[in-house]
Amino acid sequence: AQTVTQSQPEMSVQEAETVTLSCTYDTSESDYYLFWYKQPPSRQMILVIRQEAYKQQNATENRFSVNFQKAAKSFSLKISDSQLGDAAMYFCASGGGADGLTFGKGTHLIIQP
Amino acid sequence: GAVVSQHPSRVICKSGTSVKIECRSLDFQATTMFWYRQFPKQSLMLMATSNEGSKATYEQGVEKDKFLINHASLTLSTLTVTSAHPEDSSFYICSATSSNRALNQPQHFGDGTRLSIL
């Protein structure tokens, strides 16, 4: 069984600033992936970044990076140089392969111009 | 590459009717497809997992007779909501992956179907 917890229902950041979204998880799997998905008002699910649990190096995709703390079961997302287009719901998820994804409740990110 | 097409994008129908939603992988073979449901302002919840040529595996609390899933080919899975009622109104979204074991194969999502039952 897997659980994913996002404790921030909403976050607000000024344009061009940096924001960190929190996520903790619990899983009985020995190998797994962790994901951050962006869901804009169109409701498309857009993969932002993913991290394999076996890799110690934190994943980075341009302005998006994660802080993966395996022992603490923490997987936070840092967005640098926030842009208006980053405004969306952000979901943390765990799983992968033959298993469906378990999602957190999401964080609504607001970008203040 | 890795495009998943979901159809229809929006459906409105009367209570008691059955609704079929299609999920197609356009440029890859999807050995496993997943169906999720998302109520307004809530997260995605996995409903079921389907593997090509075998019966779907439903999550706890999901009625298999209510939500019929067919994965007859490597590129198509369908979800049929039978005798739909207003409480079935939701956003349904599918995803597909090209491997049933390799963790490094990502899931590719369709654009979802907004189902409204009057």
Q: And the tokens for A58?
A: 């934190």
pLDDT band at A50 (very low <50, low <70, confident <90, very high): very high
pLDDT in the model for residue B18: 97
Pick B46's closest partner by Cβ from A42, A100, A105. A100
Chain mean pLDDT for chain A: 94
Mean pLDDT of A37-45: 95
Query: What are the pLDDT digits (tens) for B21-67?
Result: 999 999 888 889 999 999 998 999 999 999 888 889 999 999 999 99
Determine contact, residues A67/A74, Cβ cutoff 8 Å: yes
The distance of B107 to chain A (nearest Cα, Å) reads 7
Length of chain A: 113
A83 CB contacts (<8 Å, ≥6 apart)? A15, A16, A63, A111
Cβ contact, residue pair A43, B111, below 8 Å: yes
pLDDT band at B103 (very low <50, low <70, confident <90, very high): low
Query: What are the pLDDT digits (tens) for B68-82?
Result: 999 889 899 999 999
Query: What are the pLDDT digits (tens) for B1-18?
Result: 689 999 999 999 999 999
From chain A, the residues in CB contact with B43 under 8 A are: 91, 103-106
pLDDT in the model for residue B107: 86
Provide, rounded to the nearest whole percent, the portion of chain B with pLDDT above 70. 93
Cβ contact, residue pair B95, A101, below 8 Å: yes
pLDDT band at B104 (very low <50, low <70, confident <90, very high): low
Pick B93's closest partner by Cβ from A45, A97, A105. A45
**CA separation for the pair B68, B57 (Å, rounded):** 11
From chain A, the residues in CB contact with B106 under 8 A are: 47, 50, 96
**Cα angle A100-B110-A32, degrees, rounded to a multiple of 5:** 25
pLDDT band at A93 (very low <50, low <70, confident <90, very high): very high
- Please give the distance of CA A101 from its chain centroid, rounded to a whole number: 13
Check if A90 contacts B (Cβ < 8 Å).
Answer: no
Note the helical H segments in A1-101: none
- Dihedral sign of CA atoms B101, B103, B104, B105 in order: positive
The distance of A35 to chain B (nearest Cα, Å) reads 10
Check if A96 contacts B (Cβ < 8 Å).
Answer: yes
| Three-class secondary structure assignment of chain B | CCCEEEECCEEEECCCCCEEEEEEECCCCCCEEEEEEECCCCCEEEEEEEECCCCCEECCCCCCCCEEEEEEECCEEEEEECCCCHHHCEEEEEEEECCCCCCCCCCEECCCEEEEEC
Flag whether pLDDT at B101 surpasses 60. no
B18 backbone φψ class: left, alpha, beta (φ>0; ψ -120 to 50) = beta
Flag whether pLDDT at A70 surpasses 90. yes
Interface test with A, best of B109, B111, B115 (most A CBs within 10 A): B109
